[in-house]
Amino acid sequence: MIHIHIGFDLGEVQNRALSKAEVRDQALVMLVAGSLFLPWVVSIVTIWFAAIYVMVDYRRRAAATRSPFMKVLLGMLLFNFFVAAYYRNYMGVIMVLGFLAMVMYGSYVRTIMTRPLLHRMADFACLMSLAGILVAVVQKIAMFPSSHSYRPTSFYFNANYFGMMIEFTVLIAIYRAYTNRKARPFYAIVVLANLVGMYLCGSMSGLMVMVCGVLLFLLLKRRNMVCGLFVLVMLLFLVASKGVPELLPREGDVDTTMAQRLSIWHGALQGIAQQPLFGHGMMAYSMMNHEFGTYPTYHCHDLYLDVLLNFGILGAVVFTVVFASQITRIIRQMRAGASGNASLLVIVMTAMVLLHGVTDVTVIWTQTGMLYLLIFAASGIRANRTYAWHLLAAPQKPLPVRHAAGD
């Protein structure tokens, strides 16, 4: 029998009854996670609802902003709001408010995350991803007669965001295959379906990062035999694609795509030189590309240039310090065995974001960014942890311990 944890198994959570506050918090996490695999407008509304839910309650707001690093990060984002407004970058004003909502809610989820909640959320994400793949298949079939090269976007803003959601989902499914062995057939279906989605959306960066992420996960798990088999399959796939180019979508577009990116990066460097310290606010490239005569698009197609252009050196330093401190902490947890496979999942997904950032900025979007933050919240898991912010509810009496036969 396949066991997929998408409900609320009271017996799985710290051997005690859930308070009403805990039930509401965990239900909202599931709601937000599910919304990320629905039309992006639904995701935006749901995330804002969740962020307001946290901000209007003093104790939840205090929990989310307790870390000094979080205070600095939120302060920097608020400052960027005024930078964008000063340059009349109204799209940037809207985007930074959305980014603030995502960071605020993600920070709160980190304080309440438990391993059972992570597993239910991950399973729900895997299940919901199948709906997005089905939509992509329907879109491709519908558009194929008029445009053979059409790249379906499913529920996402464009095909590249779809590709990043797929690479995240494949990693999550593989992680769950190791932590929920009884449901491996389900996770195999999820991986195969998402590979179809990756082929349809034609995200070259997404495909490359997905392969590297899976390889890194297997290496860190020390699954040497599986890792070797995976590399062999990838090599055979590359060889086969030389004889059958259709196996590797958009391979012929590499030169054109790279020329466009070089133009974008040239314009981004000119923009950074204009305001190196504070930046121009989020989405600055979309406002400035006409000034430099470079390829028109929404962002820099490079996460590192985008951060410098939007937030300046000041913002880049804040992001680097906050990010480095948290990653260092997670690595220490992983070495100490404090959160097991969960830390490994966070480390590998972070590596995927950093690698994908060389060619695209797809993580700075509602669905992709929020999914990453929800998984990053797994770094808040501790061994034998109870509900982190138990002050939200009156103390609960423990449930009687039920020992299975043979325990």
Instruction: Look up residue 341 and give its two tokens.
Output: 């496979």
> How far apart, in whole angstroms, are the C-alpha atoms of residue 171 and residue 193?
13
Query: If we measure between CA atoms, which residue out of 91, 261, 250 comes closest to residue 159?
Result: 250
pTM for the model stands at: 0.87
Residue 148: what are its φ and ψ, rounded to 5°? -65, -25
> How far apart, in whole angstroms, are the C-alpha atoms of residue 299 and residue 362?
9
* Whether 193 contacts 186, CB under 8 Å: no
Q: Is 308 helix (H, G, I), strand (E, B) or coil?
A: helix
Give pLDDT tens digits for 259-297: 888 899 989 999 999 999 999 999 999 888 888 888 888
pLDDT of the residue at 6: 52
> How far apart, in whole angstroms, are the C-alpha atoms of residue 77 and residue 41?
22
* Whether 281 contacts 84, CB under 8 Å: yes
pLDDT of the residue at 2: 53
- CA–centroid distance for 351 within its chain: 11
Instruction: Look up residue 315 and give its two tokens.
Output: 């913002």
pLDDT over threshold 70, residue 230: yes
Single-letter residue type at 174: I
What's the rounded mean pLDDT across residues 82-108? 93
User: Which helix (H) or strand (E) segment is 218 a member of?
Assistant: helix 204-220
212 Cβ neighbours under 8 A, 6+ residues apart: 351, 352, 355
Residue environment code for 242-253, b if the CB has 16+ CB neighbours within 10 A, otherwise e:
eeeeeebbbeee
Query: If we measure between CA atoms, which residue out of 47, 320, 264 comes closest to residue 311?
Result: 320
Instruction: Look up residue 376 and give its two tokens.
Output: 């990053």
Query: If we measure between CA atoms, which residue out of 377, 348, 372 comes closest to residue 362?
Result: 372
Give pLDDT tens digits for 337-389: 666 788 889 999 999 999 999 988 889 889 999 999 999 998 888 643 444 44
Residue 133: exposed, middle, or buried by beta-carbon count in 10 A (0-12, 13-18, 19+)? Answer: buried
pLDDT of the residue at 149: 77
> How far apart, in whole angstroms, are the C-alpha atoms of residue 104 and residue 336?
28
- CA–centroid distance for 193 within its chain: 19
Quick one: DSSP state of residue 403? P
pLDDT over threshold 80, residue 244: no
Mean pLDDT, the chain, rounded, equals 84
- By residue count, the chain amounts to 407
3-state helix, strand, coil in the chain (%, to 5): 75, 0, 25
222 Cβ neighbours under 8 A, 6+ residues apart: none
Q: In which region does residue 339 sit, left (phi positive, over 0), alpha (psi from -120 to 50) or beta (all else)? A: alpha
Q: Is 16 helix (H, G, I), strand (E, B) or coil?
A: strand
Instruction: Look up residue 164 and give its two tokens.
Output: 């990043």
pLDDT of the residue at 28: 95
pLDDT of the residue at 222: 81
* Whether 266 contacts 319, CB under 8 Å: no
Give pLDDT tens digits for 32-89: 999 999 999 999 999 999 999 999 999 999 999 998 889 999 999 999 999 999 999 9
The CB-side HSE value for 319 (13 A sphere, CA atoms) comes to 16
Which residue bears the tokens 């729900």?
A: 124
pLDDT of the residue at 337: 64
Single-letter residue type at 320: T
For residue 6, how many other CB atoms are within 10 A of its CB? 18
pLDDT over threshold 50, residue 398: no
Give pLDDT tens digits for 144-162: 877 777 888 889 988 899 9
pLDDT of the residue at 256: 75
pLDDT over threshold 80, residue 12: no
> How far apart, in whole angstroms, are the C-alpha atoms of residue 87 and residue 61?
30
Q: Place 253 in a pLDDT band, splitting at 50, 70 and 90.
A: low
Give pLDDT tens digits for 127-140: 999 999 999 999 99
Largest interatomic CA distance in the chain: 73
Give pLDDT tens digits for 179-221: 998 999 999 999 999 999 998 888 888 888 998 999 899 888 8
pLDDT over threshold 60, residue 235: yes
pLDDT of the residue at 1: 52
Q: Place 90 in a pLDDT band, splitting at 50, 70 and 90.
A: very high
